[in-house]
Structure 1
Amino acid sequence: MATSRVINFGAGPSALPQPVLKKAAQGLLNFNDTGIGIAELSHRSKEFVAFLSNAESHIRTQLEVPPTHSILFTQGGGTAQFSAVVLNLLSRHRLLFPDLADDERTMDYVLTGSWGKKAFDEAKRLGGARARVAVDARKYSKDNVSFDNVPLHGEYAFSRAPALIYYCENETIDGVQFSPDPTAPTSFPFALLPRERGGLLPLVGDHSSSFMSRPIPHLGEHAVIFAGAQKNVGPAGLTILIVRQDCLVDVDAAAKLGAIPVPLCLSYTTLAQSKSLHNTPSMLSIYITGLVLEYMKELGGIAYYEALNRRKAEKVYAAIRAGEEVGVFQGKVQSGSGSWMNIVFNILGDGAEARFLAGAEKAGMKGLKGHRSVGGIRVSLYNAVTEANADILVQFMEKFVSEANSQVSA
C-alpha cells in the first residue's frame, strides 16, 4: 500500500493543495466549531450560509467581478451548463425579441476543441434557435481534422444579433487556449463581437479548466461565465457561475411567448433569488473550494497564480521543444495556441510512449496519459501543481530525451 502522495498531473478531478486537504479533513468531523461535520450540517444553517457568502466574496474580490454580475453555485458540472446557457439566454432573447421566428434566432459557437463541439451539439439538440458555427478551428489545422489552433481574427463570422456567443477559453482535451495577450492574433476577438442595443454582449465563456488561474479578459462584458470547480479550485460536484444581472429573466414569462420552458433547477433567476440554496447544494465541494480560495488569497491571489502558471508552462514547453529538436517529442498544437493548463504532445518511436508513462509513474508522477479520444501525453498544470512538481517532470523529460538520443546515437 502506498504511503506517500504522488504528483498528480491528471486533467480532472485535479490535484488540490495539501494544506487545504488537511484542513478539510478536520471540517469533516467538526465544521467551524459547530460540533457537526460539513457533510452532516444543514445547508440553511447560519454557519454554512456565512461560509457560502465568504466563498462568493473571495471570487468577487480576486477576479474583480463587478456588481453588475451575480456569483452563483450549482451542480451538474460544465456539461449541464451546455444546456442551461441555451435555455436561459433563449428565454432572455425571446423577451427582447418576441416576434422573431425560431429559425431567425441564432446561437453562435466558436469551436476550438472537443468541449466546444459538445456544447454546440447540445445547442443543436435543444433547438429553439438556429445553432451555427462562427468559426471552426479544424479548418485551419495541419490535417483539417484536429483541433490544434486558435483561428486568426479574420476567420470569425458572427451573426448580427445572436441569442448567445459561446466559446471555451481552454480546451482540456486538445491543449488549445486563447492567448492572454490582447494584441496576439490568437486572442479572443472581443472587438469583433456584435453588440445588442445598449452595448451589451450575449457572450458565454466556458472557463472550467482555467478558472482562477489568471485574469478573465473583459469579464464584465460577459453575459455568463461558468466553471466546474474540479480543475483549479475544488473537487467535482460544484459549478460556479458568474451571471450578468440582465440575464436573470422571468423564464416562465418567456415560455408563454414560445420559449423552451426552463427547469427550475437550471434557471439562473431561481438560483439567484434563492442565493444558490434552491435545493441542497454540494456542501462538501463548496467547503473545500472555499478553503482553496482562502489559501489562494494568502498566497497572493490571481496575480500570484498567473505568474506561477506562466512559469510552469514555459518550462514544460521548453522541454518539449528540446525533445523535438532531436526527434523524441512532437508538439500537437500550433505556435501561439498552446494551453497553460493542459500541454499535449506525442512521444515518437515504437513503444516510446509506454516507456515514458511507465518511467514517469515509477518516478512518482501520474495522470500523464492523453485523453482517450486523441492519445499522446497530456500534462495538466492546474493551480495546485507546484513549480517544484513541474521541475521534477521537466527533469524527467530531459533525462528521457537524453537516453533516447543516446540509444539512437549508439
Structure 2
Amino acid sequence: MSDGRVINFGAGPSALPTDVLEEANKGLLNFQGTGIGIAEISHRSKEFTAFLNEAESHIRTLLEVPSTHKILFTQGGGSGQFSAVVLNLLARHRLLHPQLKDEERVMDYVVTGSWSKKAMQEAGRLGGGRVNIAADARRYSNDGKAFNSVPPHDDYAFSADPALIYYCENETVDGVQFSDDLSSPASFPFEKLTQGALLPLVADYSSSFLSRPIPRLADHAVVFAGAQKNLGPAGLTILIVRQDCIVDVDAAAKLGATPVPITLSYKTLADHSSLYNTPSVLPIYIAGLVLRKMSDGGGLQVYAQSNRQKFEKIVAALKNGEEKDVFKAKVKDGSVSWMNIVFDVPGEGRQQKFLDGADKRGMKGLAGHRSVGGVRVSLYNAITQQDTDKLVGYMNEFVADTV
C-alpha cells in the first residue's frame, strides 16, 4: 500500500477507521480549538467533559440504553472487570442478604471459552462466595477440553438467588459467540432465568461491543467492554450498570463484605461522572470520534448488517475450503463468531504457507491465539467489505492452488 498501511485482521488492539485516525491526529496537536493537544488537556476542562458527555450520549442512543442504567468509563480492560463485577455484586448481595455466610453466596458462571474460564477463576480466587458453573461448553466437544460451541439451553443450571450470573457474549480466542437470534439454540437462555426479578446478569461484550444490538439489554445488571476491538485504543473500558447495582460498598464492608478498592467501585465512578481520577483521555477521544462516525453513518443497524455480510463471506470461503479438505473449521455451525472466525489449515507446512501468503498480500494479524494456534480472522467494525473481499479472494485462491 502506498501509505504503508496494511489490512489488520488482528484480534486486538483492533483496526480503526482511517478517517478517525486522521482526525485524531489533528486533535493530538489542537483539541477543538483549545490550542492544547488531547493528550495534554485537563480531563476536567469544559471541552473534554462536554466531549465525554457526547460519547456517553452516542452509546445510549446507539444501543438504546434505558434510563435505568448508567454508562461509565474506566480503565483495566475486561480482565479488570473480572474482579470489579465480583466485588461490587457481592457487596450488593451482602446488603440484600446480610445474614448469609460466604459459602452460602453463589456466583453463577457460564463457561464457553478461554475468557469466561479466566473470569470464573478470578471469582474463585477472590472468594466471598461459592462459584457454580451453570453451564460448561467443554462437555460438548469431542475431547471434553475444547470450546467449540454454545451449550444447549437444557444444559444450564442457574442458582436460585445468585450474587451474579456471568457470561461472555463472544469468546475472542475460541471463536464462539452466542446467537443474537433468541429463537436459536445457541442464544443465551434468558427464559431459564427467574422472571420478574432484578437479575444480577453480567455480560462481557469486550470483543463484540457495538457490532450489533445487545439482546434484552435492559435485563442485564452489568455490561462491560474493553474498547480495543470495535471502538478505540486499549486503555478504556465501558460499563453499562443498572442503578440498583451501584451500591454503597463501604456499608457492605461493615457487614462483612470484601472491601472494594475505591477506583473499582461503581458508586465511585457514578458519583464522579467517571472523573474520580484521570480517565484514559486519549482513548476516550478516539472512541468518541468512532461513536460520532457510527451515529452519523446510520447507527448500529447499518454496522450490524455490514458485519453479518462480512461474516457470511468468510464462512462461505471457509466452507469451500472444507469441502476440498484444505481448511477445517474449529467451531460448530450456529456458534461461530461474527467477530473472530477460527480455523485450521491441515497438512505439513500449509498453515504457515497460508499466513505467509496473506502477509505478502498486505493482510496481517491472522495467526490464531498462541494458546490454540490455527488461523483467526477478526472482523471488527473497521474492517471494510473491500478488506473482507480481498481475504476471501485469497482464501479461494489458496484452496485452488492446494487441491
Partner of 1:344: 342
Q: How far, CA to CA, are the matches of 1:188 and 1:28 in structure 2?
A: 42
Letter in structure 2 aligned against 1:62: L
1:3 is displaced (CA, Å) by 4.2
CA contact (8 A) 1:71 1:240 kept: yes
Tell me the alpha carbon deviations over residues 139-165 of structure 1, each in whole angstroms, 9 at most, x when there is no partner.
Answer: 111221100000100000010100000
Q: How far, CA to CA, are the matches of 1:116 and 1:24 in structure 2?
A: 33
Q: How far, CA to CA, are the matches of 1:344 and 1:87 in structure 2?
A: 33
Letter in structure 1 aligned against 2:237: T
Structure 1, unmatched stretches of 5+, are 406-410
Letter in structure 2 aligned against 1:297: S
Instruction: Please give the secondary structure, in 2, of the residue aligned with 1:241.
Output: strand
Partner of 2:304: 306
Q: How far, CA to CA, are the matches of 2:62 and 2:181 in structure 1?
A: 20
Match of 2:272 among 266, 271, 274: 274
Q: How far, CA to CA, are the matches of 1:164 and 1:199 in structure 2?
A: 13
Deviates more, 1:137-146 or 1:155-164: 137-146
Match of 1:402 among 377, 400, 403: 400
**Alignment pair present for 1:52 and 2:52:** yes
Partner of 1:204: 202
Instruction: Please give the secondary structure, in 2, of the residue aligned with 1:269.
Output: helix
Instruction: Please give the secondary structure, in 2, of the residue aligned with 1:226.
Output: strand
Q: How far, CA to CA, are the matches of 2:2 and 2:101 in structure 1?
A: 61
Q: How far, CA to CA, are the matches of 1:365 and 1:352 in structure 2?
A: 17
Q: How far, CA to CA, are the matches of 2:193 and 2:378 in structure 1?
A: 31
Structure 2, unmatched stretches of 5+, are none
Tell me the alpha carbon deviations over residues 187-210 of structure 1, each in whole angstroms, 9 at most, x when there is no partner.
Answer: 000110135xx6111000000000
Letter in structure 2 aligned against 1:340: W
Match of 2:323 among 315, 322, 325: 325
Partner of 2:154: 154
Q: How far, CA to CA, are the matches of 1:389 and 1:143 in structure 2?
A: 35
Identical pairs, percent: 67
RMSD (Å), alpha carbons:
0.9
Partner of 2:181: 181
Partner of 1:296: 294
Partner of 1:393: 391
1:301 is displaced (CA, Å) by 1.4
Q: TM-score, normalised by structure 1?
A: 0.97
Partner of 1:20: 20
Deviates more, 1:115-124 or 1:299-308: 299-308
Q: How far, CA to CA, are the matches of 2:360 and 2:346 in structure 1?
A: 20
Letter in structure 1 aligned against 2:145: V
Partner of 1:408: none
Q: How far, CA to CA, are the matches of 2:349 and 2:323 in structure 1?
A: 20
Partner of 2:314: 316
Deviates more, 1:1-10 or 1:86-95: 1-10
Instruction: Please give the secondary structure, in 2, of the residue aligned with 1:205.
Output: strand
Partner of 1:120: 120
Instruction: Please give the secondary structure, in 2, of the residue aligned with 1:296.
Output: helix
1:52 is displaced (CA, Å) by 0.2
Match of 2:216 among 206, 215, 218: 218
Q: How far, CA to CA, are the matches of 2:346 and 2:399 in structure 1?
A: 11
CA contact (8 A) 1:159 1:194 kept: no
Q: TM-score, normalised by structure 2?
A: 0.99
Tell me the alpha carbon deviations over residues 87-118 of structure 1, each in whole angstroms, 9 at most, x when there is no partner.
Answer: 00000000000101111100000000000000
Q: How far, CA to CA, are the matches of 2:366 and 2:298 in structure 1?
A: 28
Instruction: Please give the secondary structure, in 2, of the residue aligned with 1:107.
Output: strand
Instruction: Please give the secondary structure, in 2, of the residue aligned with 1:108.
Output: strand
Partner of 1:377: 375
Q: How far, CA to CA, are the matches of 1:98 and 1:191 in structure 2?
A: 29
Q: How does 1:122-137 map to 2 (within 5 A)?
A: 122-137=122-137
Q: How far, CA to CA, are the matches of 2:205 and 2:60 in structure 1?
A: 15
Partner of 1:253: 251
1:314 is displaced (CA, Å) by 0.4
Q: How does 1:97-112 map to 2 (within 5 A)?
A: 97-112=97-112
Letter in structure 2 aligned against 1:346: D
Instruction: Please give the secondary structure, in 1, of the residue aligned with 2:59.
Output: helix
Q: How far, CA to CA, are the matches of 1:62 and 1:55 in structure 2?
A: 11
Partner of 2:138: 138
Match of 1:227 among 225, 239, 263: 225
Q: How far, CA to CA, are the matches of 1:301 and 1:209 in structure 2?
A: 19
Q: How far, CA to CA, are the matches of 2:148 and 2:25 in structure 1?
A: 41
Q: How does 1:56-75 map to 2 (within 5 A)?
A: 56-75=56-75
Letter in structure 2 aligned against 1:209: S
Q: How far, CA to CA, are the matches of 1:100 and 1:19 in structure 2?
A: 54
1:2 is displaced (CA, Å) by 8.1
Q: How far, CA to CA, are the matches of 2:392 and 2:66 in structure 1?
A: 39
Letter in structure 2 aligned against 1:336: G
Letter in structure 2 aligned against 1:61: T
Partner of 2:363: 365
